[in-house]
Amino acid sequence: MRIEVRSESVFAKIRKAFSVRFKIVRTIAPVLAIAMVLSLNSPAWSHSGRTNSSGCHHNHRTGDYHCHGGGSGTSTPRTHCRTETFTAYRSTVYQGSRVFRTSDVEASRTNFRLGGRDGILSTYNVSDLKVRYFAFIDSDNKNKILVSFNNGDWVRVNTFAEYDSVRTAQFAANALGITREEFKTETRNRRICR
């Protein structure tokens, strides 16, 4: 009696195994490729979410307010907003019988050097009158304020008082005859978006 053992060659077994694996790869590969393409195309940015009805939210860590595009595969650019604090002036300037009034004037403030003294220059307009204040510390360590109207000569602020949230500055004699200014400052916020 003879026992015959049929054995597949090693190469045949390897070919058979690769054939089965190739069929699996051939069916799964397109699905994986489509999934990868779709995931790369989606407009997703890493954050905690919680957007409002416009798709925007406030990032408390950075102070930014920004919006995300979305919906039906389209993407819009994000808008970044920040809150900026500024000082608004409501001013009344008295020039003899003439009164200049304004509201919501924003003063620009810069470091400034005048006559060898370093200080802060605040500039704003009251109607058609340009007002410039220069605040500095003199050699006696006292706060001093000079004022200039319409780029004229600098004159001394004689008194500077505050009563019931209204500040009053009384001026030394000047070419324009302006005697005093009453103003109220308010700190306000505004949103700047880009």
For the chain, give the percent of residues with pLDDT over 70: 61
Residue 113, pLDDT above cutoff 90:
yes
Q: How far apart are CA 89 and CA 51, in angstroms?
A: 36
Residue 150, pLDDT above cutoff 70:
yes
Q: What is the mean pLDDT of residues 173-183?
A: 85
Query: Does 183 lie in the same domain as 90?
Result: yes
Query: Does 169 lie in the same domain as 109?
Result: yes
Q: What is the mean pLDDT of residues 146-171?
A: 87
pLDDT of residue 1: 54
Work out how many domains the chain is built from and give that number: 2
Whether pTM > 0.85 for this model: the answer is no
- pLDDT bin (cut points 50, 70, 90) of residue 166 is confident
Domain region containing 103: 86-188
Query: Does 94 lie in the same domain as 37?
Result: no
**55: in domain:** no
Give 121's Cβ-side CA count (13 Å radius). 14
**106: in domain:** yes
Residues ≥6 apart with Cβ < 8 Å to 93: 99, 100, 126, 129, 131, 178, 180, 181
The CB density around residue 163, as the number of other CB atoms within 10 Å, is 8
Element holding 30 (H helix, E strand): helix 10-41
Q: How far apart are CA 82 and CA 68, in angstroms?
A: 16
Residues 58-106 have pLDDT tens digits of 776 666 666 766 544 344 556 677 888 777 778 888 888 888 877 667 7
**81: in domain:** no
Q: How far apart are CA 111 and CA 18, in angstroms?
A: 78
pLDDT of residue 194: 74
